[in-house]
Chain A
Amino acid sequence: MTIVDDPQTRPGGDYEHGRDHEHNPSADAPERPIGFGRLQRKEDPRFVRGQGNYTDDVVLPGMLHGAILRSPVAHARIVSIDTSEALARPGVRAVLTGKDLEPLKLAWIPTLSYDVQAVLATDKVRFQGQEVAFVIADDRYAARDALELIRVDYDILPPVIDVRHALDAGAPIIRDDLEGRTNNHIADWDCGDSVATDAAFAKADVVLKQEIVYPRVHPAPMETCGSVADFNRVSGELTLYVTSQAPHAHRTVIAMVSGIPEHKIRVISPDIGGGFGNKVGIYPGYVLSIVGSIVTGHPVKWMEDRSENLMSTSFARDYIMTGEIAATKDGKLLGIRASVLADHGAFNGVAQPTKFPAGFFNLFPGSYTWEAVYGKVTSVYTNKAPGGVAYACSFRVTEAVYLVERMIDRLAIELNMDPAELRLKNFIKPEQFPYDNKAGFEYDSGQYEKTMRHAMDLIGYDELRKEQAEKRSRGELMGIGISFFTEGVGAGPRKHMDILGLGMADGAELRIHPTGKAVVRISVQSQGQAHETTFAQIVAEEIGIPPEDIEVVHGDTDQTPFGLGTYGSRSTPVSGAAVAMVTRKVRDKARLIAAAMLETRPEDLEWEKGRWFVKGDPSAGKTIQEIALAAHGTMELPEGVDGNLDAEVTYDPPNLTYPYGAYFCVTDIDRGTGKVTVRRFLAVDDCGTRINPMVIEGQVHGGLTDGVGMALMELIEFDSDGNNLGGSFMDYLIPTAMEVPDWETGFTVTPSPHHPIGAKGIGESATVGSPPAIVNSVIDALRPLGVTAMDMPCTPARVWDAMQGHATPPI
């Protein structure tokens, strides 16, 4: 493992503390860094002027508008659909049903998990909000009006809503479309060593078991999902503007589904108003806009409304977990078991690498050493919306981290031990990396104790405990919650990881123009993560061209190399590595040209940022700009160098990267109402090398807010008939500025040893790490009342129940 002491990778020294800007890392950095450091975003000037170009902003000549009729019930057989009245309405161009899609072989499409999903229901509807018919009309309002005129006769069937009974004998069979189906079971998966874990438990002084529910939530980006399809009947070309986190993968899947050859498809993912995993899947609406354009010969726009977004697009979590932990009485961890019942909804649409049907739940051993671990997950169908993609979480890491961090705190209560001390006692030590976590994953690097102690210093842990003791003596409820998480991001090595058979590598192309300005083309797609800035900074760091002279091109399959897109915090770990590698390739090429220019041998040259010079004679050198001009000029070029300064690579990551962090949450609970206030929250993250601290801080703040949402407010709940009770922003509560504190942040730097620049990824860390800190804090606050466990969301009513001794799971 490397511990970096290079001030380059630690722009402002070791630590920053976001709240007061007192350690703003730009303080001693140059005003406009050539490379890493705080830099204003290149994308901001267009956004602050309202000049972003989101999918709903796309207007094409002759464009029509589509709207989807959705099922009002969770489970029913479709007896008949009458579209005649809708069709007769002025302004309506077409109405499509599942029957119209069948001859085109488009009534069903593959999901990301080798299941199929109905585009428009043909036989049955299987969740409330499922797509039943599609109207194409002259404008948005006319399309909506026509939905009211479609008559559907449903034969209502009993739904499977309570996941705990989905596998009961006699439960209604949801997927009778799949041949030979006799139950609602999807898959069983396990990892670790059950026999060794049994042995570890057998010798433990303390064994604890706890059900821990991570209920269904929704990513709910501010921009909903949508698309504009433009099929040219003459050329056979399809241009699809779409809210996509993975434009290349979407192009391939659309080619497979639609039969339109891939070289005739251009997917443009313009500015994206937030994704958080919600825009990874292929939704029926996208397919319908394509079919609509083929059928009408016009471009067709489909934009869902908020209720459609919350009720039908990818949800997240929905894991009912049982944790078991074994330890000695002095707090040495011995074994952990996790057993999960996973609700995947009506179609298995989870997005995760093929060989990982439970995502990266393998991370449930967390940041600790154990003698043995064992985890298993059973997934089932229910009459709920499909998905399970994410919500700013790499493939079930959130659930795994939540389980282990809750269990550690539960054990601390049992042992009457300080939860910080219990963690410190059991951390994986720096010299143990690379570390086999006994569940199949190899962590790359970490200095857990250092990061933990730094966080304890920043938050003033000992003083907080003193304050808490005083408050408790006065009867006040104050909690201090800790979470120490290890994530696995940057999927992933091609030989182990693919989605629908597409290996999870990413390409990058770099061109240096004759005047020394550069264009880098990347396969991943920003939804707010500032790729246009940070990827330019990677090129700048590697080759010394200032970031303002580097254009980052993304989001258009005609203009960028193939790659699997942005989710699971994979942009910097995979695509960022590709950009560093392609820049190094160009730098090596520049060396050959510089040697020819200086009439010396390449091995006699030395690099400093932006320039090759002769070893021992720094005055004899050529800048990258001079080299670029020469590469395109008339000079005779050395062998193996063609007449440009361009290169391309595809990066296949050797392993995941493992960012981690220590999070502390201080809550106060109103004894009279059960209302939880997050008074302080400190996040100390280690994401390896830091490219742009301002952007990192922003990513962390956003994730912490997700955490407050999930821990205290957000829940997609269903009644027993399968009605979605979280289908609008009146019901699905997202934090506003009033519910979150002024975030405090800090950092340590432990680079990834296998990543070209040592970066690990930060996009999802805070979403993963914060919920257990908040819930642990709530439980800690309620300790004087005898509470040892409670599930999210910790709404006032649910906290009140817990205070009365009646903590209930949300599902």
Chain B
Amino acid sequence: MHVTMTVNGDEVERDIEPRVLLVHFLRENLGLTGTHWGCDTSNCGTCVVQIDGEPVKSCTVLAAMADGHAVRTVEGLEVAGTVDPIQQGFMEEHGLQCGFCTPGMMLTARALLDENPHPSEGEIREAISGQICRCTGYATIVRSIQWAADHPAETADSTLEDEDVKA
């Protein structure tokens, strides 16, 4: 079947088998390997992307279901050479180790902050509760998201000298 969608702002069209999962479509048909796959049962969240701004598990969505929609992946977080505050936050606060869960965590976090710019710790934990990180123990992920909340895009500065001094 034929699908058309926007992925990170670009329109893409492909002929695919109807059964192809969105995660495989992104990784294998489009070569966007930043979206990961980690389980068979929709439990891990390493595959999270945004569809029309909502975080979804792309292993649980057929590519066909994304037809006509806007998909955003980790590759779409950085805009015009400037990283998203959420990306900067993960680097500042050691929110990642092996990096495998990180794209999914960041897309969920971005969606959370878009809706709720100043979430509490509990709201952050709940937002990422459908996702597993085996490395970090979550506290630094929470801090990373708080960092991003404290440094919204217009003032984000990728060199962050002030922050280092304060820390």
Contact = CB atoms under 8 A, between A and B. Distances in A.
Interface string B16-28: 0101100010011
Interface in A21-73: 21, 24, 26-27, 31, 38, 40-41, 43-54, 56-57, 59
Given A698-B140, A742-B142, A57 B98 contact: no
Contacts of B102: 47-48
Contact of A737 (B37, B40, B138): B138
Contacts of A703: 137
Given A47-B99, A221-B98, A273 B90 contact: no
A701 interface: yes
User: In which size bucket is the chain B interface?
Assistant: 35 or more
A433 interface: no
Contacts of B17: 141
A45 B91 contact: yes
Nearest to A738: B129
A794 interface: no
Contacts of A699: 97
Contacts of A53: 33
B167 interface: yes
Contacts of B153: none
Nearest to A701: B137
Contacts, number: 188
A224 interface: yes
Interface in B1-34: 17, 19-20, 24, 27-28, 31-34
A222 B46 contact: yes
A273 B94 CA distance: 16
A140 B24 contact: yes
A140 B131 CA distance: 25
A54 B27 CA distance: 12
B91 A276 contact: no
Interface stretch (A283-291, A475-483, A726-734): A726-734
B39 A695 contact: no
A698 B33 contact: no
A529 interface: yes
A606 interface: no
B154 interface: no
A26 B135 contact: no
B129 A737 contact: yes
Nearest to B39: A306
A273 B36 contact: yes
Given A52-B99, A737-B125, A528 B90 contact: no
A528 B167 CA distance: 24
Interface string A291-324: 0000000000000011100000000000000000
Contacts of B34: 49-52
Interface centre among B31, B32, B33, B35 (most CB of A within 10 A): B33
A40 B92 contact: yes
Given A48-B87, A49-B78, A738 B126 contact: yes
A730 B41 CA distance: 7
Nearest to B164: A31
Which of A45, A223, A527, A529 has the most chain B CB atoms closer than 10 A to its own CB? A223
B133 interface: yes
A524 B106 CA distance: 29
A52 B27 CA distance: 13
B134 A274 contact: yes
A728 B96 CA distance: 24
A610 interface: no
A271 interface: yes
A730 B43 contact: yes
A307 B142 CA distance: 29
A705 interface: yes
Given A274-B134, A737-B141, A50 B100 contact: no
A761 interface: no
B101 interface: yes
A530 interface: yes
A705 B90 contact: no
B135 A729 contact: no
Nearest to B20: A141
A18 interface: yes
B100 A54 contact: yes
A535 to B, nearest CB: 15
27 contacts: A24-B167, A27-B167, A44-B99, A49-B77, A50-B75, A52-B34, A53-B33, A54-B36, A141-B19, A141-B20, A222-B132, A222-B135, A223-B98, A271-B98, A273-B100, A306-B44, A694-B94, A695-B94, A698-B136, A702-B97, A703-B137, A728-B39, A729-B44, A729-B132, A737-B141, A737-B142, A740-B138
Instruction: Enumerate the 7 nearest inter-chain pairs by beta-carbon distance, A residue then B residue, closest first.
Output: A50-B34, A701-B137, A528-B98, A47-B99, A273-B100, A528-B97, A50-B74
